[in-house]
């Protein structure tokens, strides 16, 4: 497996052009986010990820976390790497200074998190889940809960988890059976089992704070009867230090296709009297609290698709530059050349590069809107930014993670037979990437979310606003005109698909649901193409550097090779629902 080098130049470009870093630095609380500070942050992060975290990626794949006598031991080097990550303050970047955070924009924190996931996705999952726990407690916890848990979660001294899934309740969260019984003193006792709990048990931190969905005795059926509870592994004492061990344990660790170093735990609550817990938010309002955790987590998972794609691209590029095989079709009289000279290898590398850059642009654009939704002083602007984040989140999560799998698969193909051999490390990227379209809501659920909650619910208002923004003319040299022409064609496809969706029979939701995945892909490709067109136009303004030239060329490839897919997706949306649902279940 080759080394990882953070693509700092492209990250800076994406932060400037798509997240709008200069504008973010004018928002209340973000004044310290100067270009100089952000550059320094990214460069220091690159040292940590390249020299400390990335070398552990293959180590963790080959020597996974293990469960021994109730204790989960992470691979060699992980504890030291996490201690370095924690002690250097990386965990606290985007959180409120009121509880020990640095108050930097989420956009900057996400750029650092991209580096961490690209370096070692298994390692990065621990702080990612911690973010979700912090956000839930910050948004819904009592003042006492905030004072007790947030400083240590934000510092990284303690880590947090999300406990949603049960053996009989996967994506159908309303089917959970875990029970919470009041103690009469404001606390509760929880019993039940949870599965797929990322970093549910580990040896990296002094305490693990579990956020657990469970039902009260008189709770209504379904999702309306779910409450959220904070359940610490060690119950904090009067001084906030880890105290008595709670009645919870890791039963086993899952044996997975990838992300082997990340311990995915089966957790049992209440083997004895029940795990002591405290309500977060209101009774039976756990779903609302859960979505506070999940919305940003979905952006983070989309970022994992970008990150793993970047890592796979770097390895495939380096291999193509070094691997000598066959004569070049352009120079048949010469001897064997590095395979990067073969057109089909070039095609694959350009497909990888262009889609990773489009995914990065889409993600950073969404996270920039997230920062505005939280900090812009004008209420109307906050609402507009919030609507944009809501619209983009399922696209970031689904399209970027599908893209990460495709790019990792192409990386194996560039390696040829050596890609299928584990020692090169190319296969690990594919195996690690494959989970991202599944967790935090499968990509089919993301597509349904986009169609039903983000487009149909507001009669297409947010979608139409973004389409109108993307239709603004682009100025530039002939290459920009060609990209703009492709963009206009994709926008026409998106308008037609959106108009059709809005005209579908509201009494036949299966029609819209059958079209949801191709609709999400059409929308995401169009937004990605628009952002790539903006990148090309920005790099054409008097810049003749290698970076500017590669930006324009990469955008042109995306326009020529990826954006025409929208024309094929349109009939799949408008005409495909009938064949999707035509067979009876017993005919499969």
Q: Report the catalytic residues.
A: 440
Residue 264: name the closest of 170, 200, 213, 212 by CA: 200
CB atoms within 10 A of CB 512: 22
Helix axes 546-557, 509-539, angle to 10 degrees: 150
Q: For the chain, what's the residue count?
A: 588
Residue 43: name the closest of 317, 51, 84 by CA: 51
- Token representation of residue 165: 């899934």
Q: Are 302 and 396 in contact (CB under 8 A)?
A: yes
Half-sphere exposure (CA, 13 Å, Cβ side) for 84? 15
User: What does each C-alpha distance from 394 to 288, 440, 450, 521 come to in angstroms?
Assistant: 17, 11, 6, 10
Separation between Cα atoms, residue 214 and residue 178, nearest integer Å:
5
Q: Name 587's Cβ contacts closer than 8 Å, sequence gap at least 6.
A: none
E-state strands within 31-132: 66-68, 71-73
User: What does each C-alpha distance from 403 to 14, 17, 306, 307, 477 come to in angstroms?
Assistant: 18, 22, 8, 11, 29
Separation between Cα atoms, residue 21 and residue 368, nearest integer Å:
8
User: What does each C-alpha distance from 418 to 136, 413, 424, 426 come to in angstroms?
Assistant: 44, 9, 7, 8
Separation between Cα atoms, residue 147 and residue 142, nearest integer Å:
9
User: What does each C-alpha distance from 369 to 105, 299, 441, 499, 568 come to in angstroms?
Assistant: 11, 12, 22, 25, 30
CB atoms within 10 A of CB 452: 15
Separation between Cα atoms, residue 68 and residue 560, nearest integer Å:
54
Q: Are 514 and 581 in contact (CB under 8 A)?
A: yes
3-state DSSP percent of the chain in helix, strand and coil, to 5: 60, 15, 25
Strands 158-163 and 207-214: parallel
Q: Name 373's Cβ contacts closer than 8 Å, sequence gap at least 6.
A: 382, 383, 385, 386, 388, 389
Decide: helix, strand or coil at residue 367: helix
């Amino acid at each position: 497996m080759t080394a990882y080098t953070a693509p700092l130049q492209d990250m800076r470009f994406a932060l400037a052009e798509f997240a709008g870093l200069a504008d973010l630095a004018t928002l209340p609380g973000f004044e310290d986010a100067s270009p100089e500070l952000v550059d320094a942050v990214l460069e220091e992060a690159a040292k940590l990820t390249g020299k400390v975290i990335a070398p552990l990626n293959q180590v963790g794949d080959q020597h996974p976390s293990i469960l021994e006598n109730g204790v989960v031991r992470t691979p060699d080097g992980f504890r030291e790497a996490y201690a370095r990550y924690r002690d250097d303050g990386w965990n606290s970047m985007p959180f409120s200074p009121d509880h020990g955070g640095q108050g930097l924009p989420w956009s900057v924190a996400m750029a650092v998190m991209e580096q961490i996931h690209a370096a070692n996705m298994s390692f990065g999952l621990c702080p990612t889940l911690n973010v979700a726990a912090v956000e839930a407690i910050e948004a819904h916890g009592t003042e006492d809960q905030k004072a007790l848990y947030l400083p240590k979660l934000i510092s990284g001294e303690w880590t947090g988890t999300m406990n949603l899934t049960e053996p009989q309740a996967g994506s159908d969260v309303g089917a959970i059976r875990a029970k919470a019984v009041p103690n009469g003193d404001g606390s509760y006792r929880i019993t039940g089992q949870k599965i797929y709990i990322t970093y549910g048990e580990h040896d990296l931190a002094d305490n693990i704070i579990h956020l657990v969905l469970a039902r009260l005795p008189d709770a209504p059926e379904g999702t309306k009867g779910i409450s959220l509870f904070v359940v610490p592994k060690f119950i904090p004492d009067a001084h906030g230090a880890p105290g008595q061990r709670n009645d919870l344990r890791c039963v086993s660790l899952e044996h997975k296709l990838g992300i082997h170093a990340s311990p995915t735990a089966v957790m049992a609550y209440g083997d004895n009297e029940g795990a002591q817990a405290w309500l977060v938010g209101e009774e039976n309002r756990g779903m609302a609290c859960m979505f506070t955790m999940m919305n940003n987590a979905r952006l983070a998972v989309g970022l994992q698709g970008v990150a793993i794609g970047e890592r796979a691209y770097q390895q495939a590029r380096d291999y193509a530059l070094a691997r000598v095989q066959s004569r070049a079709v352009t120079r048949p009289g010469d001897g064997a050349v590095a395979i990067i000279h073969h057109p089909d290898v070039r095609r694959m590398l350009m497909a990888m590069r262009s889609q990773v850059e489009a995914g990065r642009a889409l993600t950073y654009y969404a996270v920039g809107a997230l920062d505005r939704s939280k900090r812009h002083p004008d209420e109307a602007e906050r609402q507009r930014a919030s609507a944009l984040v809501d619209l983009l989140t399922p696209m970031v999560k689904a399209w970027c993670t599908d893209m990460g799998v495709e790019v990792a698969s192409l990386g194996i193909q560039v390696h040829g037979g050596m890609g299928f051999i584990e020692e090169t490390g190319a296969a690990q990227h594919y195996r690690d990437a494959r989970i991202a379209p599944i967790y935090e809501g499968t990509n089919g659920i993301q597509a349904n979310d986009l169609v039903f909650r983000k487009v149909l619910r507001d009669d297409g208002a947010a979608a139409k606003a973004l389409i109108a923004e993307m239709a603004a003319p682009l100025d530039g040299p002939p290459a920009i005109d060609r990209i703009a022409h492709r963009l206009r064609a994709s926008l026409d496809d998106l308008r037609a698909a959106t108009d059709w969706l809005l005209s579908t029979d509201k009494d036949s939701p299966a029609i819209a649901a059958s079209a949801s995945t191709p609709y999400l892909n059409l929308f995401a490709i169009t937004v990605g193409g628009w952002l790539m067109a903006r990148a090309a136009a920005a790099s054409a303004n008097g810049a003749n550097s290698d970076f500017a030239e590669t930006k324009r060329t990469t955008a042109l490839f995306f326009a020529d090779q990826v954006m025409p897919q929208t024309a094929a997706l349109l009939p799949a949306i408008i005409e495909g629902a009938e064949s999707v649902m035509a067979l009876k279940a017993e005919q499969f």
